[in-house]
Structure 1
């Protein structure tokens, strides 16, 4: 975990080093171990460093190649840096550090922009070529590490966080279309557009170059279109071997690595595999795990977590997010998130990383990404059933099994089947819900049906999975993960998004991923005997839950003050209606939270 900063002046004006230094200062939380700036005429790049691999100062950034032609700033980790480094050494390259940063800069020297395909990891980096006067920036395949930019006719400003760009005095006008998508559809991070009209997100698998003063943004990665595998005889072994190896290389670090543990299938798999790796490599380390807990047994995961702790002999750290901590940290968390977010689950994750920081751990593994690529969400199930409409026996069998494994009951299950498969029904539903608090004039001035229809991807299972990967789920989860971990100088690593594993998963026939009512069937079968059985075959797994409605019900005065004092979001939110909802005590907590988070964001960043 680090942070990068950069300015390129198209008009040839010299970059103010103090301005790049200020951009660095704003993100010192991301990298308190090193801080550096390089300025050459009309270009300036900077970096803050969280030292993880090769802790020596010689590995601080900006880092130069041996010929002093290239300069790099880099945020992330390259997990196969050892293998790529060895390949480069065979070609005659010399290394002065043991860092993955130097591997990137030499890979760029050898393969140019094609070096991206050699790398396995998470990254956003910028390389300045002094000789060709070329700036090259790239983001990793699935967008685990962030990169944003502002561009006009005279300059380009880029950074790991939006607040860095705002510090350069750019126009802070908000993006009404994105606010509409957020308030009405509950969509965020679903396009290249941000909540700021003039700030753009470099999307996953994209890169940009500036050469001869010409800016070019393009996509460098997409999933290979190889089709589904024909031979599934060794499917479960091959899958497990890839997951095992992903966890193995994600453990490469010169500092201690811990794990987030929710008690669900994904995080439990990572913790158990990590334990097996340490044992198989003869290492005596006892890993540390971190879990958010609650007094409410309906959302508390400790019974499942305890099973994992017993199997792995891990050291457990329990923390208890509550409404008082939420009120204490809400402004700071809003600041670090940069943009609105969809619910108080973000605070639970914030609290986990706060605890991790307090224990001195700098790196953790987390289970994000599995639900989206392995079809873990229940919302995938209706699309799975739709695929079997022409096979009545299989349709009925999967329907009955789905009712059992989801714990929803027949009526609710059938309602969900219709809802998720029918875009027009979903559209009317979200419009009706948002009508409870969105300003009528604002709502009537937008027609975003095309965006909604594209994002929900109701046409089929594979289209819906791809939308979850690239648009409506993983991008927002990764943003939360990055900002919450970065706020506490912690690096979060995501083994399920190792590109080798993701590409393999997308070759698995869809009917192997959901089977006999079970979502994530391949993961469950591959983990037989590897994790506690109660977790492997757990029904109705909770999402990363918090008692959001209970918390909001306990703070009506605070909510009313938020909308009464220095009200900022009046263009979007009908204050009288939202106050009426709060006073009634009978509200949809998801809708109320979105209005609350928008108003908080506008206050924290002084927006109008």
Structure 2
């Protein structure tokens, strides 16, 4: 895991190397162990290294081929690199390091852009082909590792983080109204957009080529939902298939020259992967978890069941509301986007615990809910579709109480929630049917927008139309569950879960997360499981639960689904209120930045300040976080953005 940066400039300017040095200085957390720069007009490649494979200086980047005509700066891991290396050596390629990075150089020489089909990994890289005078950018299949770019006149700037691109004086710094609107609808930017004008991200499963003719993007892998399902296999066949794939996916993700720990949340997913490690590979596994002082969010009792079962060497961090409020500006700085939840903050503290424990790498259970249909939103869609066949039924909506027994606790709340879930009930022909309810609920937050921001963005209908235009051919012929899984994975997985809660919070403390469930072989196999087995009735992750039975404790398999959440309003108001809150939400600052209606925000702030924050609705809590984080994004990246005046360290120069 590392940070990459670079500039390709076909305008014959020679000032790129100092700029790339400053770009690396903006993200020392991504590469605290070493750094280097390769410069040879028109390209400058920079690299900040977190040493995990080949810890010697020979593994420092950028790395080249035998005659130094191909150079690469690489972020991530290629888990099948030993097998790839052996095949390349047999074909005559000569290596000067033991890194997986050098494998990419020779694989490109051998196969060109056909190389991606051979990779099993999580990566983002930039490869310069000196003979062709061409830059190749690439990102892993599901977007675990980030890669951003800004395109100017015959010039391209790229990096692992947006703040590094902003160290380039040619890059604009402004928030994009339409993307802000999208974030306040579905939590994330859409496609290759970012919250910033003219700053783009390479989409997952894509590569791009930049040369004198311009920039071209091309997919090499697509989400496998919609593939033909395999009806010939029995449940037991699928269980054995998934067990075998998870065993191997976990095995190759333990490849490292440093110790590998594991996150342990107390759910099926992380307990499963930790059990595989403990049983097959490592009898002294170290595990890490986050808990909350507020019992509504705490899963410590389930984490204890997992730890007692596994016998791991375990450490945990307890997160209080004041902790979230204190670190929130740092969380936003690393996330580089407005947020609608405080969930990334505890994960920032968790990765700091891992780093303080002298670990650099952890396995996590992320991705299982997308791959194996584990979210309540999938069950909601199934119930609502069943209810829509008889909209006046009193019995069918009662099934929702099985999803949320802690919400449907009395007749009054039950009646209110039935009314809530009935919205858009019969819009079953909408391509976004599974997510309509959530998007409508979140879209209401845009009522806090200023008039100028509202005028610069489209409506929810416009958002849905844009999303529908991006869908693959045949999408509406898929079953409802498959469409819902695709939508969740397409919009939420890479741009939020693996970014704001994944890469950015881990790398803030120089920690690399690895995700066995997101091995593309597992993703592709799970997509071929018939939907009736992905979700059996209202039992989510049916095949995965069967695979886990007998390996992990039954209480962790049979427990009710508890979404990961963190406290919100009381983190920012009350005793010990952080100073930045009143500054960012003041009428003067709101007017100066221009994103939100000051009067509406003032009423929300008054409700919190008067000690009534505990009475805030879910929407109001999300609005509070969205407004505050947007203000912080503007403050940190536009109004008060600073590039270090002097280098934090000297970067090894290679030419």
Aligned residues: 598
Give the 3 Å change call, closer, same or farther, for CA 206–326 of structure 1 in structure 2. Answer: same
Superposition pairs for residues 369-518 of structure 1, below 5 Å?
Answer: 369-385=367-383, 403-404=401-402, 406-407=404-405, 409=408, 414=418, 418-419=422-423, 421=425, 422=427, 429-435=441-447, 437-448=448-459, 449-452=461-464, 455=467, 460-480=480-500, 481-518=502-539
| Alignment of 1:594 onto 2:622 | no
Per the TM alignment, residue 347 of structure 1 is displaced from its structure 2 partner at its CA by 0.4
Per the TM alignment, residue 13 of structure 1 is displaced from its structure 2 partner at its CA by 2.4
Q: Deviations over 1:182-215 (max 9, x none)?
A: 23x1431332111111111111011111234432
CA RMSD between the two structures: 2.7
Q: Deviations over 1:136-155 (max 9, x none)?
A: 11011111000000002131
Q: Deviations over 1:306-357 (max 9, x none)?
A: 1111111111111122233334322222222222222111101111011111
Residues 30, 489 of structure 1: 8 Å contact kept: yes
Moved more, 567-576 or 481-490: 567-576
| Alignment of 1:581 onto 2:593 | no
Per the TM alignment, residue 521 of structure 1 is displaced from its structure 2 partner at its CA by 1.0
Superposition pairs for residues 480-559 of structure 1, below 5 Å?
Answer: 480=500, 481-539=502-560, 541-554=561-574, 558=579, 559=581
Residues 528, 536 of structure 1: 8 Å contact kept: yes
Give the 3 Å change call, closer, same or farther, for CA 445–483 of structure 1 in structure 2. Answer: closer
Aligned match of 2:138: 138
Give the 3 Å change call, closer, same or farther, for CA 382–151 of structure 1 in structure 2. Answer: same
Q: Distance in 2 between matches of 1:60 and 1:398?
A: 61
Superposition pairs for residues 66-215 of structure 1, below 5 Å?
Answer: 66-169=66-169, 170-183=171-184, 185-215=185-215
Q: Distance in 1 between matches of 2:47 and 2:23?
A: 9
What SS is found at the alignment partner of 1:554?
coil
Structure 2: tracts of 5 or more residues without a match:
409-413, 428-432, 641-655
Q: Distance in 2 between matches of 1:361 and 1:189?
A: 32
Superposition pairs for residues 281-296 of structure 1, below 5 Å?
Answer: 283-284=282-283, 286-296=284-294
Q: Distance in 2 between matches of 1:569 and 1:206?
A: 39
Give the 3 Å change call, closer, same or farther, for CA 427–235 of structure 1 in structure 2. Answer: closer
| Alignment of 1:330 onto 2:334 | no
Per the TM alignment, residue 400 of structure 1 is displaced from its structure 2 partner at its CA by 7.1
Per the TM alignment, residue 483 of structure 1 is displaced from its structure 2 partner at its CA by 1.1
Residues 33, 49 of structure 2: 8 Å contact kept: yes
Aligned match of 2:585: 563
Q: Distance in 1 between matches of 2:510 and 2:544?
A: 31
Residues 398, 517 of structure 1: 8 Å contact kept: no
Aligned match of 1:254: 257
Aligned match of 1:216: 216
Give the 3 Å change call, closer, same or farther, for CA 273–189 of structure 1 in structure 2. Answer: farther
Residues 30, 48 of structure 2: 8 Å contact kept: yes
Match of residue 595, structure 2, among 572, 578, 582: 572
Residues 325, 571 of structure 2: 8 Å contact kept: no
Structure 1: tracts of 5 or more residues without a match:
none
Aligned match of 1:364: 362
User: Normalised by the size of structure 2, how large is the TM-score?
Assistant: 0.86
Which structure has more RCO (C-alpha within 8 Å, separation ≥ 6)?
Answer: 2
What SS is found at the alignment partner of 1:320?
strand
